[in-house]
Amino acid sequence: MIDAKIPAGELADKWNNYKDSSKLINPANRKKLDIIVVGTGLAGSSCAATLAELGYNVKSFCFQDSARRAHSVAAQGGVNAAKNYKNDGDSVYRMFYDTIKGGDFRSREANVYRLAECSLALIDQAVAQGVPFAREYGGYLNNRSFGGVQVSRTFYARGQTGQQLMIGAYQALMRQVSAGKVKTYTRHEMLELVLIDGKARGIIARNLETGEIERHAANAVVLATGGYGKVYYLSTLAMGCNSSAIWIAHKKGAFMSGVSWIQFHPTCLPQIGETQSKLTLMSESLRNDGRIWVPKKAGDERVPNDIPEEERDYYLERRYPTFGNLSPRDISSRAAKERIDAGCGVGPMKNAVCLDFSKAIREQGRDKIEEKYGNLFRMYDKINGVDAYKEPMLISPAAHFTMGGLWVDYDLMTTIPGLFALGEANFSDHGANRLGANSLLQSCVDGYFIAPYTIPNYLSGELKSEKVTTDHPAFIDAENNVREQLSRFLNLKGHLSADHFHKTLGRLLYDKCGLSRTRQSLEEAVVEIRALKKSFAHELKITGDNGVNSELEKAGRVSDFLELGELMCHDALQREESCGAHFREEYQTTDGEAVRNDKDFCYVSAWEWKGEGAEPELHKEPLVFETVQLTVRSYK
């Protein structure tokens, strides 16, 4: 049994109890400690900057050309905080409850409570950094609503909340670079994790410009490398998003949890062609004013504007009258799939639903809608050449956020001592489904407020441990592994590109381990992925050399996605219930709602890598609910 090390005490006191009793390191000793932070998104940048402010020596790595570009920038809608500025009954407890219910009771009470608790300080921190959150005319901060809740607790900066929070964290990081406390390694990719005496003590990184392989030693390693939704190829993620850092850690002994819990975002642009590389997300905030519908009649060939009101099926309002168009993401996405599968989809590939603003424009005026969502309407027009003020947007669910990731305890430490995982790279906090605007929150809270307490708590025990240098045999072995893999890729004499394998894997996972899964589809997927892996090992073709080479970068990432994809299917197979984003068709009510099984599956699945070709081993962390009562999650 694995231990999450939840502190003692009442739910509301646990984090304070932890902080009161965690071990401290005096400022003179902090200068002697080195920390590697991989990833410069919100979690990575905020953690690196905050640790540097405290006096630790930080090395910050990212594969992009600047720390500012990590995919946190793409989050549009907002960040949640229980400030209760709207006086509408919000509180830390209510936010905690919404989040744990939204996650279908598959997350830890203590973690989720801490997330809600720290949300208050995050808004303060971001404002102090100069993040231009929306303001009312009186000068006070404004809020809006997001899916799955009945209060307004979402802070936003037009449709670019992620970008603006990211700029705040990036600037904090740059400030520490100029102070000499952070050294940044941009265009670097982590390719190995170095363990010494079972503890994380460094990484091997490849310089993506020169191809040089570098060794970096530290007293602790932090992975803040984001989610792996790009495993589906077509997704809302950036092209470079990948699972390699966490997968490398997994193969070195870190457990993975909630691996198959992938959120499909309900409001994305649909696929319209085979060469498409991206399914662009349109912020969930659009559902505040947009109404979702499909034609009542299957196979309706008319364009949406020609379909009269009485022949439209506002299926979310029909099925979930209480939450309507603001139903949580998993429910909205599944409801869309249900209608599309029933033949009621719209658009050239009949794979989309309508998101209609005509009522909102009639009631509030075009100017008001433009002020709220102008940039999103412009983006829609740029991509599709369609004016959404005049006709409905066509949207479709797309792979988006991974609730799963590296298993971490309450300290955000993985099962490898000294290896921490932050933000989307870990599995914690969101259970089986994440609520909108909780992602920016979690990555910031992990980086600004949690890791800067928990990492020193670990490091206090490391002050007396031996100083490690990069000529240690463990570094030499790790570097040799990396060199072998790179030269194997470059010398393969195949004929298919890395993208070919990535797209094939993505299609397979969408079909068999996507919005809904069955035992049969998952078993088939495992067999097919294994075959694809074999083909990848022989038929891959990489052109170019060991300098700047995007194909070589992709090869490593796709290789890891193939292995991760198989674990996703194992995880989905083993969990014989439907919860949150994990919908097993065998476990549903007669009207198509998910059936959770608390008797047999009220635990976190933590998977251990057992080697190439071997079945992964399952460890269970029971979920203990002391405060909330497990209920059927209803939004009707």
Partner 1 sequence: MKLYLKVWRQEHRESKGNMVSYEVDGISEHMSFLEMLDLLNERLISKGERVIEFDHDCREGICGACGMMINGRAHGPLTGTTTCQLHMRSFKDGETVYIEPFRAAAFPVLRDLKIDRSAFDHIIQSGGYISASTGQAPESNSIPIAHEVTEAAFDAAACIGCGACVATCKNSSAALFTSAKISHLVLLPQGKLESADRVIKMVGQMDAEGFGHCSNTEACEVECPQEISVLHIGRMNYEYNKAMALRK
In whole angstroms, how far apart are CA 161 and each of 141, 148, 167, 290, 440? 14, 19, 10, 20, 9
- Whether residue 264 contacts residue 397, with contact meaning beta carbons closer than 8 Å, is answered with yes
Per-position x/- string for 87-126, each x denoting binding to partner 1 as judged by CB under 8 A, each - no binding: ----------------------------------x-xxxx
3-state secondary structure of 228: coil
User: Should residue 449 be labelled a site residue for partner 1 when binding is judged by CB under 8 A?
Assistant: yes
CB-nearer residue toward partner 1: 27 or 139: 139
CB-nearer residue toward partner 1: 276 or 465: 276
User: Should residue 581 be labelled a site residue for partner 1 when binding is judged by CB under 8 A?
Assistant: no
Complete DSSP assignment for 167-181: HHHHHHHHHHHHTTS
User: Should residue 186 be labelled a site residue for partner 1 when binding is judged by CB under 8 A?
Assistant: yes
Q: How far apart, in whole angstroms, are the C-alpha atoms of residue 601 and residue 584?
A: 13
Residues of this chain, 508-527, that bind partner 1 according to CB under 8 A: none
CB-nearer residue toward partner 1: 48 or 416: 48
Active site residue 584: no
In this chain, which of 119, 184, 285, 559 binds partner 1, going by CB under 8 A?
Answer: 184
User: Should residue 394 be labelled a site residue for partner 1 when binding is judged by CB under 8 A?
Assistant: no
How many residues lie near partner 1 (CB under 8 A)? 84
CB-nearer residue toward partner 1: 4 or 459: 459
CA atoms within 13 A on the CB side of 155: 27
Report how far apart the first and last C-alpha atoms of the chain are (Å, whole number).
37
With CB under 8 A as the contact rule, which of the stretches 134-142, 474-482, 517-525, 572-580 interacts with partner 1?
A: 134-142
Residues of this chain, 469-498, that bind partner 1 according to CB under 8 A: 495, 497
User: Should residue 167 be labelled a site residue for partner 1 when binding is judged by CB under 8 A?
Assistant: yes
Instruction: Give min distance, CB of 224 to partner 1, in A.
Output: 15
Reference 341, options 573, 583, 634, 579; nearest CA is 583
With CB under 8 A as the contact rule, which of the stretches 127-135, 320-328, 402-410, 469-477 interacts with partner 1?
A: 127-135
User: Should residue 50 be labelled a site residue for partner 1 when binding is judged by CB under 8 A?
Assistant: yes
The residues, any chain, with a CB within 8 Å of residue 45's CB and separated by 6 or more, are: 60, 67, 70, 166, 169, 170, 172, 173, 447
3-state secondary structure of 629: coil
DSSP class of residue 450 equals I
Sheet holding 256-257, edge to edge: 405-406, 256-257, 603-608, 617-622
3-state secondary structure of 103: coil
Q: How far apart, in whole angstroms, are the C-alpha atoms of residue 179 and residue 193?
A: 28
CB-nearer residue toward partner 1: 418 or 447: 447
Residues of this chain, 51-90, that bind partner 1 according to CB under 8 A: 53, 64-71, 73-74, 83, 85
Q: Which candidate in 94, 153, 287, 329 is catalytic?
A: 329
CB-nearer residue toward partner 1: 170 or 587: 170
Beta strands 312-313; 256-257: pairing state? unpaired
In this chain, which of 13, 88, 197, 209 binds partner 1, going by CB under 8 A?
Answer: 209
Question: Hey, which residues are catalytic here?
Answer: 329
